[in-house]
Chains A and B, each alone.
Chain A
């Protein structure tokens, strides 16, 4: 079982991760036979479980999970609960889980889940607390009752070390402003991550600066017009590649006089990075950090640098 889980992207990334910014969710499934039956209707809990080697019984929206969190791969037998906003309750009840882990944005459903099994809420994006600290704490909270506290601690230490190593690798880009976001396919707007999201914190921990200069929503993002990118001319833009919609956004922007006139576009400081789950747990944050580091390691420096 563990062979299949470890194959593919995990091993490749382990080799590729020169500065240690690598997700090796490895020690994994040795204890699968005595594994508790835990359902994770949100991905933050699912990936946190996998990080300490406990496969979840059931996860919501399995297809998009596999797209957005390829490193933390789900075991083949995991049950798909459907929508993350409305996980299938009949199915969940029929599975008879021992425990259920949800995210704080699903808290309004907690009464339902409590009727099926004891339910624990993970709060990751919950201002004003640091979402990165929250993600670490969530991992510890998930691991402790499973007797995996040490694994969680090891994972957190490795993540911190990877961030530090990433900052070291990007030392010559210290203080460089970076904007991370999702292009809207109309080619006029983008969702950018700012204070309140762990993307923002990762930028800071990598020794970078967030180039987004507008206030963000409760969930740490802001919808901005493309023109607002001109406010930080020295920034680098990293946009998430979400497939065909991103292709459309790119083609809309190609013929756009404003876009082509933006300093960061003229200087070639724009790149696509693979998609990640911005409301996820520590493994998602690790993936995000690796994607940012990899993208910037190849990117030209700021105009002033």
Chain B
């Protein structure tokens, strides 16, 4: 029925590209296998098992690695299609739902605290965690009738939460750091056929389930009310699709680690090249997923000139990011459905919004005072005395000021971005600016052995600026279309994390420093830097106040905005510049804390504050207070060990966000 509604298109371009990719993959594979064992001995190696070591490597290492790349690639793409169809958002992936982060967290925690559990079955641990994460996501979103927005918010929050908890484990156990990171970044290296067989069985079940789900999921494409009228239980179909995707994600993470991006790129390629119906996507996306991962994994084996093998999880991201950028440039994305704030979680308007704003500002001031004065020392908890203030404050004050201003800037940046795009998933990291800044630092680490503070700041500023120029440049012709903006941001962010993962797995002891900074540590804040950041925050946030009218009108949609007389392009450029400036400044001070930018605006909205100007002030106060509190907890909880403020903010804010989402009436 849905197939009739859409014009049927030729799948020739799909087959053509698939063929070309397969030829490339075959050529690379032939070279890899030839390196393992001369081709004339292949047949003998397969028939007489394990006679020589090269034969063993050919049959038990090289071949299963190829098959695993097919299975994992196809599986992740299948999971991507299912999630995108169920959540109606092309950015949905096993990572968006928190499945990968949940499985990774469970594996990391079990590895540190309960190795016996892992000995009993690593797959079981990951599967239990993934299903638990999916169940929590579904439970939290149930009040919202499993609406796409509620699901995405819950998934994203849990993903941040699990990712942060796993990062805390690595920060506090950093002699194990490299070990944990090898898992996180995904490697397809195999030593036998066991995992391959288990994955094949899992994927077979998942494929059958997806086929069974295809009809109800197809109906989901229609408006939900129509689907319901056709007798479809929307929530049940969605929940089933999410569960199948969660199982696939768990199987993949436990077998090979986190391999991202395939689940977003493969369905995108299939769709661009003409796979319109769900059945076509379910067929072609896994095919492209398998091909992409196959090529990526064979490709990394040919990069011998690099000193260590790039984890394929990073390679897929590096390969996928430009592909996604190309696609975004060539076509106007059709699948992106902008979510209007009207469908986003909105609390009843507060009776006295101004009072709520004042209360938040007072909370900010109070948190800053406590964070400055109260803390742990060698002798226990204590307030600063005249005696100790001189020694301790020079270290403590810059961190409190930096945390406060960075939190305020990120929350305001997030608010502007969410207002501008009407997408509640939007946060400064989605825009890619904080990724750009962080990328600058990582590249610096690759080039220079010893790096200093001024060099780091210069690198971060350069990266942020490059990201901003790239975003504006890529979007310029299209008039800064919102959906395109988000896709470009995702591509940048993924490319960045791939680079970072390469460094983090390289056994470089400086990776601990990098990790702490990436996790939002205020450890490196200086008084001059913190005061500059605070002044900058005040100026830019005040300037953003001048755009209050735009902020009120833009969410109504471009047509309405234009009719009222808001210049679409100019307003977006101004807002974009403000967001980029706020994000870059905050990133330079405390690292890429995308999380506050996501949570701050939500807290404000959930508090019932609606007018743009009130929201700006409230977001700044909430973000600042949140990060100051997080920084204080991080400095004192495990004294003398420190947990980065960004991780603490995620660990405090994540559950709060989930609770608020859960308590919200549909």
**Cross-interface CB contact of B191 among A61, A81, A182, A259, cutoff 8 Å:** A259
Q: Are B507 and A248 in contact (CB under 8 A)?
A: no
In chain B, positions 62-86 with a C-beta closer than 8 Å to chain A are: none
Q: Are B308 and A217 in contact (CB under 8 A)?
A: yes
Q: Is A85 an interface residue (CB 8 A)?
A: yes
Q: Provide the bound-state CA to CA distance between A42 and B521, in Å.
A: 20
In chain A, positions 226-252 with a C-beta closer than 8 Å to chain B are: 226-227, 230, 233, 242, 244-245, 247-248, 251
| 7 A-B pairs (CB sep. < 8 Å) | A84-B512, A91-B639, A94-B377, A106-B513, A189-B182, A219-B509, A222-B507
Flag the segment in A107-115, A129-137, A167-175, A289-297 that touches B: A107-115
Q: Are A191 and B178 in contact (CB under 8 A)?
A: yes
Give chain A nearest CB distance to B544 CB in angstroms. 33
Q: C-beta contact mask, B172-189 vs A, less than 8 Å → 1, else 0?
A: 101110110011000101
Q: Provide the bound-state CA to CA distance between A15 and B641, in Å.
A: 38
In the complex, chain B residues whose CB is within 8 Å of the CB of A182: 179
Give chain A nearest CB distance to B387 CB in angstroms. 10
Q: Are B392 and A90 in contact (CB under 8 A)?
A: yes
A251-B119 contact, Cβ under 8 Å, with A84-B174, A188-B190, A217-B506 = yes
Give chain A nearest CB distance to B175 CB in angstroms. 5
Q: Are A85 and B512 in contact (CB under 8 A)?
A: yes
**Cross-interface CB contact of B507 among A79, A85, A191, A230, cutoff 8 Å:** A191
Q: Is B47 an interface residue (CB 8 A)?
A: no
**Cross-interface CB contact of A93 among B179, B392, B450, B640, cutoff 8 Å:** B392
Q: Are B192 and A83 in contact (CB under 8 A)?
A: no
In the complex, chain A residues whose CB is within 8 Å of the CB of B509: 105, 219, 279
Give chain B nearest CB distance to A278 CB in angstroms. 10
Q: Provide the bound-state CA to CA distance between A219 and B509, in Å.
A: 8
Q: Which 10 residue pairs across A and B have the least CB separation, nearest first?
A: A85-B512, A82-B640, A88-B640, A244-B115, A82-B641, A230-B53, A221-B507, A261-B56, A107-B450, A227-B61
Q: Provide the bound-state CA to CA distance between A81 and B512, in Å.
A: 16
A219-B395 contact, Cβ under 8 Å, with A88-B642, A189-B182, A259-B191 = no
Flag the segment in B16-24, B451-459, B607-615 that touches A: B451-459
In the complex, chain A residues whose CB is within 8 Å of the CB of B60: 257-258, 261
Q: Provide the bound-state CA to CA distance between A87 and B392, in Å.
A: 14
In chain B, positions 339-385 with a C-beta closer than 8 Å to chain A are: 375, 377-378
Q: Are A90 and B192 in contact (CB under 8 A)?
A: no
Q: C-beta contact mask, B107-124 vs A, less than 8 Å → 1, else 0?
A: 000010001001100000
Q: Chain A interface residue count: which class?
A: 35 or more
Q: Provide the bound-state CA to CA distance between A137 and B509, in Å.
A: 21
In the complex, chain B residues whose CB is within 8 Å of the CB of A61: 175
Q: Provide the bound-state CA to CA distance between A203 and B442, in Å.
A: 33
In the complex, chain B residues whose CB is within 8 Å of the CB of A226: 191
Q: Is A263 an interface residue (CB 8 A)?
A: yes
Q: Are B115 and A258 in contact (CB under 8 A)?
A: no
**Cross-interface CB contact of A83 among B61, B171, B456, B506, cutoff 8 Å:** B171
Q: Provide the bound-state CA to CA distance between A111 and B523, in Å.
A: 12
In the complex, chain B residues whose CB is within 8 Å of the CB of A79: 378
Q: Provide the bound-state CA to CA distance between A51 and B171, in Å.
A: 29
Q: Are B182 and A184 in contact (CB under 8 A)?
A: yes
In the complex, chain B residues whose CB is within 8 Å of the CB of A187: 191
A258-B57 contact, Cβ under 8 Å, with A82-B641, A248-B115 = yes
Q: Are A184 and B179 in contact (CB under 8 A)?
A: yes
Give the number of A-B contacts (CB < 8 Å): 171
Q: Provide the bound-state CA to CA distance between A108 and B61, in Å.
A: 41
Interface size on B, residues (CB 8 A): 63
Q: Are B388 and A94 in contact (CB under 8 A)?
A: yes
Q: Is A223 an interface residue (CB 8 A)?
A: yes
In the complex, chain B residues whose CB is within 8 Å of the CB of A188: 187, 189-191
Q: Is A256 an interface residue (CB 8 A)?
A: yes
Q: Provide the bound-state CA to CA distance between A279 and B456, in Å.
A: 24
**Cross-interface CB contact of A218 among B190, B394, B508, B638, cutoff 8 Å:** B508
Give chain A nearest CB distance to B229 CB in angstroms. 50
Q: Is A1 an interface residue (CB 8 A)?
A: no
In the complex, chain B residues whose CB is within 8 Å of the CB of A126: 449
Q: Provide the bound-state CA to CA distance between A37 and B352, in Å.
A: 58
In the complex, chain B residues whose CB is within 8 Å of the CB of A158: none
Q: Provide the bound-state CA to CA distance between A185 and B180, in Å.
A: 9
Q: Provide the bound-state CA to CA distance between A208 and B452, in Å.
A: 39
Q: Are A108 and B451 in contact (CB under 8 A)?
A: yes
Q: Is B510 an interface residue (CB 8 A)?
A: yes
In the complex, chain B residues whose CB is within 8 Å of the CB of A258: 56-57, 60-61, 191-192
**Cross-interface CB contact of A261 among B50, B524, B635, cutoff 8 Å:** B50
Give chain B nearest CB distance to A212 CB in angstroms. 12
Tell which of A104, A217, A223, A256 has the most Cβ of chain B within 10 Å. A223
Q: Provide the bound-state CA to CA distance between A244 and B176, in Å.
A: 12
A90-B392, A219-B509, A255-B194 are known; give 6 further A-B pairs, CB within 8 A.
Answer: A104-B449, A108-B456, A188-B187, A189-B187, A257-B60, A257-B192
Q: Provide the bound-state CA to CA distance between A244 and B179, in Å.
A: 13
In the complex, chain A residues whose CB is within 8 Å of the CB of B179: 182, 184-185, 245
Q: Are B512 and A83 in contact (CB under 8 A)?
A: yes
Q: Provide the bound-state CA to CA distance between A93 and B398, in Å.
A: 15
Q: Is A89 an interface residue (CB 8 A)?
A: yes
Q: C-beta contact mask, B630-655 vs A, less than 8 Å → 1, else 0?
A: 00000100111110000000000000
A261-B378 contact, Cβ under 8 Å, with A80-B640, A93-B392, A191-B507 = no
Q: C-beta contact mask, A97-132 vs B, less than 8 Å → 1, else 0?
A: 000000011111101100100000000001000000
In the complex, chain A residues whose CB is within 8 Å of the CB of B331: none
Q: Provide the bound-state CA to CA distance between A87 and B174, in Å.
A: 13
Q: Provide the bound-state CA to CA distance between A115 and B391, in Å.
A: 11
In chain B, positions 37-68 with a C-beta closer than 8 Å to chain A are: 50, 53-54, 56-57, 60-61
Q: Are B452 and A223 in contact (CB under 8 A)?
A: no
